[in-house]
Structure 1
Amino acid sequence: MDTGPDPSGEGLRLRRWDAESEADAAAWLRGRTDPDFLRWNTPLAQTADLAGARQSLRAQARAIADGTCAHFCVTDEADGRVLGHVGVNAIDRVMRVARIGYWVLPEARGHQVATRALAVVTRWTFAELPLHRLELGHALGHEASCRIAEKCGYRAEGTLRGAMFDTGRVDAFRDVHLHARLTTDDTA
Protein backbone atom coordinates (compact mmCIF):
# COMPACT_ATOMS: atom_id res chain seq x y z
CA MET A 1 0.00 0.00 0.00
CA ASP A 2 1.60 3.25 -1.13
CA THR A 3 0.37 6.04 1.10
CA GLY A 4 2.68 8.90 0.23
CA PRO A 5 5.22 10.56 2.51
CA ASP A 6 5.86 9.49 6.07
CA PRO A 7 3.49 11.06 8.59
CA SER A 8 5.08 13.59 10.92
CA GLY A 9 4.17 16.20 13.48
CA GLU A 10 4.15 16.72 17.23
CA GLY A 11 7.98 16.41 17.17
CA LEU A 12 7.74 12.89 15.71
CA ARG A 13 8.32 11.23 12.38
CA LEU A 14 6.53 7.96 11.66
CA ARG A 15 8.38 5.78 9.16
CA ARG A 16 8.27 2.19 7.99
CA TRP A 17 10.22 -0.34 9.99
CA ASP A 18 13.20 -1.82 8.12
CA ALA A 19 13.66 -5.56 8.76
CA GLU A 20 17.21 -5.39 7.36
CA SER A 21 18.30 -2.63 9.75
CA GLU A 22 20.19 -3.85 12.84
CA ALA A 23 18.92 -0.86 14.82
CA ASP A 24 15.28 -1.42 13.81
CA ALA A 25 15.41 -5.15 14.53
CA ALA A 26 17.01 -4.49 17.93
CA ALA A 27 14.41 -1.83 18.81
CA TRP A 28 11.56 -4.12 17.72
CA LEU A 29 12.98 -6.94 19.85
CA ARG A 30 13.36 -4.66 22.90
CA GLY A 31 9.83 -3.32 22.50
CA ARG A 32 8.20 -6.72 22.02
CA THR A 33 10.06 -8.33 24.94
CA ASP A 34 9.67 -5.42 27.37
CA PRO A 35 7.94 -6.65 30.56
CA ASP A 36 5.48 -3.74 30.54
CA PHE A 37 4.53 -4.48 26.91
CA LEU A 38 4.03 -8.15 27.79
CA ARG A 39 1.94 -7.23 30.84
CA TRP A 40 -0.68 -5.65 28.57
CA ASN A 41 -0.23 -7.63 25.33
CA THR A 42 0.02 -11.28 24.38
CA PRO A 43 1.47 -11.49 20.88
CA LEU A 44 0.42 -14.54 18.88
CA ALA A 45 4.00 -14.90 17.63
CA GLN A 46 6.63 -14.42 20.30
CA THR A 47 9.78 -12.49 19.38
CA ALA A 48 12.75 -14.00 21.21
CA ASP A 49 15.82 -12.91 19.24
CA LEU A 50 17.00 -10.67 16.38
CA ALA A 51 16.16 -13.30 13.76
CA GLY A 52 12.63 -13.48 15.14
CA ALA A 53 12.41 -9.67 15.15
CA ARG A 54 13.39 -9.58 11.48
CA GLN A 55 10.88 -12.31 10.68
CA SER A 56 8.15 -10.37 12.51
CA LEU A 57 9.04 -7.15 10.67
CA ARG A 58 9.01 -8.96 7.30
CA ALA A 59 5.55 -10.39 8.06
CA GLN A 60 4.43 -6.89 8.94
CA ALA A 61 5.77 -5.58 5.60
CA ARG A 62 3.73 -8.23 3.76
CA ALA A 63 0.57 -7.17 5.61
CA ILE A 64 1.30 -3.53 4.73
CA ALA A 65 1.74 -4.52 1.07
CA ASP A 66 -1.62 -6.32 1.00
CA GLY A 67 -3.35 -3.31 2.58
CA THR A 68 -4.51 -4.92 5.83
CA CYS A 69 -2.38 -2.73 8.07
CA ALA A 70 -0.11 0.30 8.19
CA HIS A 71 2.64 0.04 10.81
CA PHE A 72 5.10 2.75 11.71
CA CYS A 73 8.32 3.08 13.64
CA VAL A 74 7.90 6.15 15.85
CA THR A 75 11.05 8.28 15.80
CA ASP A 76 12.15 11.59 17.23
CA GLU A 77 11.80 14.11 14.39
CA ALA A 78 14.99 15.96 15.40
CA ASP A 79 17.48 13.13 15.84
CA GLY A 80 15.80 10.01 14.41
CA ARG A 81 15.94 7.98 17.64
CA VAL A 82 13.48 5.09 17.69
CA LEU A 83 10.88 5.72 20.41
CA GLY A 84 8.22 3.09 19.76
CA HIS A 85 5.58 1.77 17.40
CA VAL A 86 2.11 2.69 16.21
CA GLY A 87 0.00 0.55 13.92
CA VAL A 88 -3.28 0.73 12.06
CA ASN A 89 -4.47 -2.88 12.07
CA ALA A 90 -7.31 -4.99 10.69
CA ILE A 91 -8.13 -2.40 8.04
CA ASP A 92 -11.59 -3.07 6.61
CA ARG A 93 -12.03 -0.88 3.55
CA VAL A 94 -15.65 -1.95 3.04
CA MET A 95 -16.79 -0.83 6.50
CA ARG A 96 -14.03 1.84 6.57
CA VAL A 97 -12.85 0.81 10.04
CA ALA A 98 -9.52 -0.21 11.60
CA ARG A 99 -7.92 -0.85 14.99
CA ILE A 100 -5.08 1.22 16.40
CA GLY A 101 -2.29 -0.12 18.60
CA TYR A 102 0.92 1.34 19.97
CA TRP A 103 3.81 0.80 22.34
CA VAL A 104 6.71 2.93 23.55
CA LEU A 105 10.23 1.87 24.48
CA PRO A 106 10.97 2.18 28.22
CA GLU A 107 13.40 5.10 27.84
CA ALA A 108 10.81 7.11 25.88
CA ARG A 109 8.00 6.73 28.41
CA GLY A 110 6.84 9.79 30.32
CA HIS A 111 7.33 12.11 27.32
CA GLN A 112 3.85 11.87 25.76
CA VAL A 113 5.26 9.78 22.88
CA ALA A 114 2.23 7.47 22.63
CA THR A 115 -0.19 10.40 22.82
CA ARG A 116 1.67 12.35 20.14
CA ALA A 117 2.08 9.27 17.89
CA LEU A 118 -1.62 8.44 18.21
CA ALA A 119 -2.54 12.02 17.26
CA VAL A 120 -0.28 11.92 14.19
CA VAL A 121 -1.41 8.48 12.97
CA THR A 122 -5.07 9.35 13.55
CA ARG A 123 -4.83 12.46 11.34
CA TRP A 124 -2.89 10.48 8.72
CA THR A 125 -5.34 7.57 8.70
CA PHE A 126 -8.41 9.73 8.25
CA ALA A 127 -6.70 11.72 5.48
CA GLU A 128 -4.87 9.00 3.58
CA LEU A 129 -6.80 5.76 3.80
CA PRO A 130 -9.58 7.28 4.31
CA LEU A 131 -11.48 5.47 7.01
CA HIS A 132 -14.58 6.48 8.94
CA ARG A 133 -13.97 4.78 12.30
CA LEU A 134 -10.85 3.97 14.30
CA GLU A 135 -11.09 1.66 17.29
CA LEU A 136 -8.62 1.40 20.14
CA GLY A 137 -8.89 -1.41 22.66
CA HIS A 138 -6.77 -1.89 25.76
CA ALA A 139 -6.82 -4.36 28.61
CA LEU A 140 -9.09 -3.33 31.44
CA GLY A 141 -6.93 -1.69 34.08
CA HIS A 142 -4.41 -0.17 31.66
CA GLU A 143 -5.14 3.36 32.83
CA ALA A 144 -2.26 4.99 30.93
CA SER A 145 -3.63 3.70 27.63
CA CYS A 146 -7.10 4.89 28.61
CA ARG A 147 -5.79 8.43 29.24
CA ILE A 148 -3.91 8.43 25.92
CA ALA A 149 -7.04 7.42 24.02
CA GLU A 150 -9.15 10.09 25.71
CA LYS A 151 -6.55 12.84 25.11
CA CYS A 152 -6.68 12.01 21.39
CA GLY A 153 -10.45 12.16 21.14
CA TYR A 154 -11.15 8.42 21.29
CA ARG A 155 -14.37 8.19 23.24
CA ALA A 156 -14.93 5.34 25.67
CA GLU A 157 -17.64 3.06 24.32
CA GLY A 158 -17.72 0.26 26.85
CA THR A 159 -16.20 -3.03 27.89
CA LEU A 160 -15.81 -6.04 25.63
CA ARG A 161 -15.96 -9.14 27.80
CA GLY A 162 -13.19 -11.70 27.27
CA ALA A 163 -11.99 -9.97 24.11
CA MET A 164 -8.22 -10.40 24.45
CA PHE A 165 -5.80 -12.99 25.71
CA ASP A 166 -4.77 -12.79 29.33
CA THR A 167 -1.18 -11.89 30.16
CA GLY A 168 1.14 -14.47 28.59
CA ARG A 169 -1.65 -16.96 27.86
CA VAL A 170 -3.66 -18.04 24.85
CA ASP A 171 -6.03 -20.25 26.87
CA ALA A 172 -7.50 -17.52 29.08
CA PHE A 173 -9.09 -14.17 28.33
CA ARG A 174 -9.53 -10.73 29.85
CA ASP A 175 -11.82 -7.80 29.24
CA VAL A 176 -11.03 -4.92 26.91
CA HIS A 177 -11.98 -1.28 27.30
CA LEU A 178 -13.07 -0.06 23.85
CA HIS A 179 -12.55 3.49 22.62
CA ALA A 180 -13.35 4.81 19.14
CA ARG A 181 -13.04 7.92 17.09
CA LEU A 182 -15.02 8.83 13.99
CA THR A 183 -13.78 11.07 11.24
CA THR A 184 -16.83 13.25 11.97
CA ASP A 185 -16.07 13.64 15.70
CA ASP A 186 -15.42 17.16 16.94
CA THR A 187 -12.11 17.04 18.78
CA ALA A 188 -11.86 20.69 19.75
Structure 2
Amino acid sequence: MPSKIPDVVAPGTLARGEQPVIPVPGDLVIRPWVLADAGAVYKAFQDPLLQRWHARVADSESEARGWIEEWRASWADEHNAYWAIAAAGSDEVVGRIALKSVVLADGQAEVAYWTMPEARRRGVASRALTALAGWAFDEVGLHRLELTHSTANEASCRVALRNGFATEGTKRSAGPHEDGWHDMHLHARIKGDGPTALV
Protein backbone atom coordinates (compact mmCIF):
# COMPACT_ATOMS: atom_id res chain seq x y z
CA MET A 1 0.00 0.00 0.00
CA PRO A 2 1.57 3.33 -1.03
CA SER A 3 2.13 5.94 1.65
CA LYS A 4 0.85 9.50 1.33
CA ILE A 5 3.89 10.71 3.28
CA PRO A 6 7.33 10.42 1.67
CA ASP A 7 10.22 8.92 3.62
CA VAL A 8 12.04 11.53 5.69
CA VAL A 9 15.33 9.76 4.90
CA ALA A 10 15.60 7.30 2.04
CA PRO A 11 16.49 3.69 2.85
CA GLY A 12 20.13 3.01 2.06
CA THR A 13 21.28 6.48 3.08
CA LEU A 14 23.56 5.01 5.76
CA ALA A 15 24.44 1.63 4.29
CA ARG A 16 25.58 2.87 0.89
CA GLY A 17 28.50 4.75 2.48
CA GLU A 18 31.25 3.98 4.97
CA GLN A 19 30.53 4.72 8.61
CA PRO A 20 32.08 8.15 9.09
CA VAL A 21 34.64 9.54 11.49
CA ILE A 22 33.08 12.64 13.06
CA PRO A 23 35.31 15.34 14.58
CA VAL A 24 34.45 16.47 18.11
CA PRO A 25 35.67 19.77 19.59
CA GLY A 26 38.42 19.40 22.14
CA ASP A 27 40.69 16.92 20.32
CA LEU A 28 38.19 14.06 20.19
CA VAL A 29 36.68 12.03 17.36
CA ILE A 30 33.73 9.72 17.02
CA ARG A 31 35.01 6.77 14.97
CA PRO A 32 33.92 3.23 14.07
CA TRP A 33 34.93 0.53 16.51
CA VAL A 34 37.88 -1.75 15.74
CA LEU A 35 38.61 -5.15 17.27
CA ALA A 36 41.68 -3.74 19.00
CA ASP A 37 39.28 -1.73 21.21
CA ALA A 38 38.12 -4.89 23.00
CA GLY A 39 40.40 -4.28 25.98
CA ALA A 40 38.97 -0.81 26.51
CA VAL A 41 35.38 -2.08 26.27
CA TYR A 42 36.10 -4.86 28.76
CA LYS A 43 37.72 -2.35 31.13
CA ALA A 44 34.76 0.05 30.83
CA PHE A 45 32.27 -2.64 31.80
CA GLN A 46 34.18 -3.45 34.98
CA ASP A 47 33.30 0.02 36.31
CA PRO A 48 30.58 -0.18 39.01
CA LEU A 49 28.94 3.09 37.92
CA LEU A 50 28.65 1.99 34.30
CA GLN A 51 27.33 -1.40 35.46
CA ARG A 52 24.63 0.39 37.47
CA TRP A 53 23.03 1.76 34.32
CA HIS A 54 23.59 -1.17 31.92
CA ALA A 55 22.07 -4.64 31.82
CA ARG A 56 25.03 -6.29 30.06
CA VAL A 57 28.35 -7.26 31.64
CA ALA A 58 31.51 -8.10 29.71
CA ASP A 59 33.10 -11.20 31.27
CA SER A 60 36.16 -11.21 29.02
CA GLU A 61 37.93 -9.35 26.23
CA SER A 62 36.76 -12.12 23.91
CA GLU A 63 33.15 -11.28 24.73
CA ALA A 64 33.87 -7.59 24.18
CA ARG A 65 35.31 -8.44 20.74
CA GLY A 66 32.04 -10.18 19.94
CA TRP A 67 30.12 -7.03 20.85
CA ILE A 68 32.41 -4.95 18.64
CA GLU A 69 31.80 -7.32 15.73
CA GLU A 70 28.04 -6.84 16.25
CA TRP A 71 28.44 -3.06 16.51
CA ARG A 72 30.47 -2.93 13.30
CA ALA A 73 28.00 -5.14 11.40
CA SER A 74 24.99 -3.09 12.54
CA TRP A 75 25.84 -0.18 10.22
CA ALA A 76 24.70 -2.16 7.19
CA ASP A 77 21.22 -2.88 8.56
CA GLU A 78 20.59 0.82 9.33
CA HIS A 79 18.79 0.11 12.62
CA ASN A 80 21.69 0.88 14.97
CA ALA A 81 25.02 2.66 14.58
CA TYR A 82 27.77 2.53 17.21
CA TRP A 83 30.90 4.66 17.51
CA ALA A 84 33.86 4.83 19.86
CA ILE A 85 34.60 8.25 21.32
CA ALA A 86 38.38 8.52 21.12
CA ALA A 87 41.20 10.97 21.71
CA ALA A 88 42.17 12.41 18.35
CA GLY A 89 45.91 12.17 19.01
CA SER A 90 46.34 8.85 20.79
CA ASP A 91 43.17 7.09 19.53
CA GLU A 92 42.53 6.02 23.15
CA VAL A 93 38.89 5.06 23.72
CA VAL A 94 37.20 7.40 26.20
CA GLY A 95 33.58 6.36 25.62
CA ARG A 96 30.87 5.10 23.32
CA ILE A 97 28.03 6.85 21.54
CA ALA A 98 25.29 5.33 19.41
CA LEU A 99 22.20 5.89 17.35
CA LYS A 100 19.75 3.13 18.27
CA SER A 101 16.29 2.16 17.03
CA VAL A 102 16.89 4.12 13.82
CA VAL A 103 13.83 4.48 11.57
CA LEU A 104 15.03 6.35 8.50
CA ALA A 105 11.59 6.59 6.91
CA ASP A 106 10.30 8.42 10.01
CA GLY A 107 13.49 10.42 10.46
CA GLN A 108 13.94 9.27 14.06
CA ALA A 109 16.50 7.57 16.28
CA GLU A 110 17.51 7.25 19.92
CA VAL A 111 20.92 8.32 21.18
CA ALA A 112 22.86 6.51 23.90
CA TYR A 113 26.33 7.03 25.35
CA TRP A 114 28.73 6.14 28.14
CA THR A 115 32.19 7.33 29.13
CA MET A 116 35.21 5.73 30.73
CA PRO A 117 35.69 6.65 34.42
CA GLU A 118 38.78 8.74 33.69
CA ALA A 119 36.90 10.73 31.02
CA ARG A 120 34.02 11.87 33.24
CA ARG A 121 33.43 15.46 34.32
CA ARG A 122 35.40 16.68 31.30
CA GLY A 123 32.46 17.34 28.96
CA VAL A 124 33.25 14.30 26.80
CA ALA A 125 29.67 13.01 26.59
CA SER A 126 28.27 16.49 25.93
CA ARG A 127 30.72 17.30 23.16
CA ALA A 128 30.26 13.91 21.50
CA LEU A 129 26.48 14.23 21.72
CA THR A 130 26.58 17.68 20.13
CA ALA A 131 28.75 16.38 17.28
CA LEU A 132 26.63 13.29 16.64
CA ALA A 133 23.36 15.22 16.77
CA GLY A 134 24.72 17.77 14.30
CA TRP A 135 25.77 15.01 11.90
CA ALA A 136 22.45 13.15 12.28
CA PHE A 137 20.39 16.26 11.54
CA ASP A 138 22.57 18.02 8.98
CA GLU A 139 24.22 15.16 7.08
CA VAL A 140 21.71 12.31 7.39
CA GLY A 141 18.55 14.41 7.53
CA LEU A 142 16.95 12.94 10.66
CA HIS A 143 14.15 15.01 12.21
CA ARG A 144 13.95 13.81 15.83
CA LEU A 145 16.42 12.29 18.29
CA GLU A 146 15.25 10.78 21.57
CA LEU A 147 17.29 10.11 24.70
CA THR A 148 16.13 8.10 27.72
CA HIS A 149 17.80 7.51 31.07
CA SER A 150 16.86 6.37 34.54
CA THR A 151 15.40 9.19 36.61
CA ALA A 152 18.11 8.31 39.16
CA ASN A 153 20.87 9.05 36.62
CA GLU A 154 21.31 12.76 37.26
CA ALA A 155 24.56 13.03 35.28
CA SER A 156 22.90 11.76 32.11
CA CYS A 157 20.02 14.16 32.65
CA ARG A 158 22.45 17.09 32.83
CA VAL A 159 24.10 16.00 29.57
CA ALA A 160 20.72 15.77 27.84
CA LEU A 161 19.51 19.18 29.00
CA ARG A 162 22.84 20.87 28.26
CA ASN A 163 22.58 19.65 24.67
CA GLY A 164 19.07 20.84 23.93
CA PHE A 165 17.26 17.54 24.60
CA ALA A 166 14.11 18.86 26.23
CA THR A 167 12.41 16.78 28.90
CA GLU A 168 9.14 15.44 27.50
CA GLY A 169 8.00 13.27 30.37
CA THR A 170 8.59 10.24 32.55
CA LYS A 171 8.03 6.70 31.34
CA ARG A 172 6.91 4.84 34.44
CA SER A 173 8.67 1.58 35.30
CA ALA A 174 10.11 1.40 31.78
CA GLY A 175 13.75 0.42 32.30
CA PRO A 176 14.80 -2.92 33.80
CA HIS A 177 17.91 -2.55 35.95
CA GLU A 178 19.74 -4.92 38.25
CA ASP A 179 17.94 -3.41 41.27
CA GLY A 180 14.50 -3.49 39.64
CA TRP A 181 12.41 -1.38 37.28
CA HIS A 182 13.33 2.30 36.96
CA ASP A 183 11.21 5.18 35.82
CA MET A 184 12.85 6.67 32.73
CA HIS A 185 13.08 10.30 31.67
CA LEU A 186 12.27 10.88 28.01
CA HIS A 187 14.16 13.73 26.33
CA ALA A 188 14.07 14.73 22.68
CA ARG A 189 15.73 17.17 20.35
CA ILE A 190 14.14 18.20 17.06
CA LYS A 191 16.02 19.36 13.99
CA GLY A 192 16.40 23.09 14.37
CA ASP A 193 16.70 22.96 18.15
CA GLY A 194 20.11 23.96 19.42
CA PRO A 195 22.09 22.98 22.50
CA THR A 196 21.48 25.34 25.38
CA ALA A 197 25.21 25.40 26.12
CA LEU A 198 28.35 23.78 24.83
CA VAL A 199 30.77 22.16 27.24
Q: Same fold (TM over 0.5)?
A: yes
Amino acid in the other structure paired with 2:158: R
Deviation at 1:5, TM superposition (A): 3.8
Runs (4+) of structure 1 exceeding 4 A deviation are none
Gaps of 5+ in 2: 1-14
Inter-partner Cα distance in structure 2 for 1:159 and 1:182: 18
Over residues 93-121 of structure 1, what are the superposed CA-to-partner deviations in whole Å (9 max), with x where a residue is unaligned? Answer: 12111110000001111111111111111
1:89 counterpart = 2:95: no
Q: Is the 8 A contact 2:19 2:32 kept in 1?
A: no
TM-score (norm 2): 0.85
Inter-partner Cα distance in structure 2 for 1:50 and 1:80: 19
Partner of 2:29: 13
Amino acid in the other structure paired with 1:27: A
* Rg larger in structure: 2
Inter-partner Cα distance in structure 1 for 2:126 and 2:82: 16
Over residues 112-149 of structure 1, what are the superposed CA-to-partner deviations in whole Å (9 max), with x where a residue is unaligned? Answer: 11111111111111123221100000011111111101
Deviation at 1:30, TM superposition (A): 1.5
What SS is found at the alignment partner of 2:125? helix
Deviation at 1:18, TM superposition (A): 0.7
What SS is found at the alignment partner of 2:59? coil
What SS is found at the alignment partner of 2:156? helix
RMSD across aligned positions (CA): 1.6
1:120 counterpart = 2:131: yes
Inter-partner Cα distance in structure 2 for 1:79 and 1:15: 13
What SS is found at the alignment partner of 2:167? strand
Inter-partner Cα distance in structure 2 for 1:165 and 1:88: 20
Inter-partner Cα distance in structure 2 for 1:52 and 1:5: 25
Inter-partner Cα distance in structure 2 for 1:178 and 1:136: 6
Q: Is the 8 A contact 1:3 1:128 kept in 2?
A: no
Over residues 49-82 of structure 1, what are the superposed CA-to-partner deviations in whole Å (9 max), with x where a residue is unaligned? Answer: 0110011111112212211112111011233221
Inter-partner Cα distance in structure 2 for 1:79 and 1:116: 18
Inter-partner Cα distance in structure 2 for 1:63 and 1:84: 18
Deviation at 1:185, TM superposition (A): 1.9
Gaps of 5+ in 1: none
Aligned residues: 180
In the alignment, which of 141, 146, 156 is matched to residue 135 of structure 1?
146
Q: Is the 8 A contact 2:165 2:195 kept in 1?
A: no
Amino acid in the other structure paired with 1:6: V
Q: How does 1:1-188 map to 2 (within 5 A)?
A: 1=15, 2-3=17-18, 5-11=20-26, 12-19=28-35, 21=36, 24-43=37-56, 46-166=57-177, 168=178, 172-187=180-195
Amino acid in the other structure paired with 1:18: V
Amino acid in the other structure paired with 1:142: N
Partner of 2:5: none
TM-score (norm 1): 0.89
